Structure 1
């Protein structure tokens, strides 16, 4: 595998059409990795405490309905 520097240099020298194609591929690949990491975190319960706190805040009336919040903006 090439080093990051070699990859950066190769990308810098791509013709515009190839650069756009690479950029689209890279954006999709990055999004897939982010989605996979997020799903793994959700399944591991990493957001459970945050969700529980949000539900407690709702039950305690410490939240603002979205439509009311948007009217204020």
Structure 2
């Protein structure tokens, strides 16, 4: 059985209170990972590259109005 299958089985066996606590923990876990990724992308100037790519496509007429 894979780790994911083990986790799915364990989560399915949680009672309502445990599931709520797990859900809150997992949301916080994901938010922290997202924050670290944003910080990493910023430090590596990833946003600058994405901005430049978008501006290049805009100037080339490859965009459309929303």
Partners in 1 of 2:17 and 2:8 — Cα distance?
Answer: 17
**Structure of larger gyration radius:** 1
- 4+ long deviations beyond 2 Å: 49-53
Can you give the 5+ residue segments of structure 1 that lack an aligned partner in the other structure?
A: 58-73
Q: How many residues end up aligned between the 2 structures?
A: 56
Can you give the 5+ residue segments of structure 2 that lack an aligned partner in the other structure?
A: 60-66
Q: Secondary structure at the match of 2:46?
A: coil
Higher relative contact order (CA 8 A, sep 6+): 2
Q: Which residue of 2 aligns with 1:35?
A: 35
Partners in 2 of 1:50 and 1:4 — Cα distance?
Answer: 33
The answer as to 2:44 corresponding to 1:44 is yes
Q: Which residue of 2 aligns with 1:61?
A: none
CA RMSD of aligned residues (A): 2.4
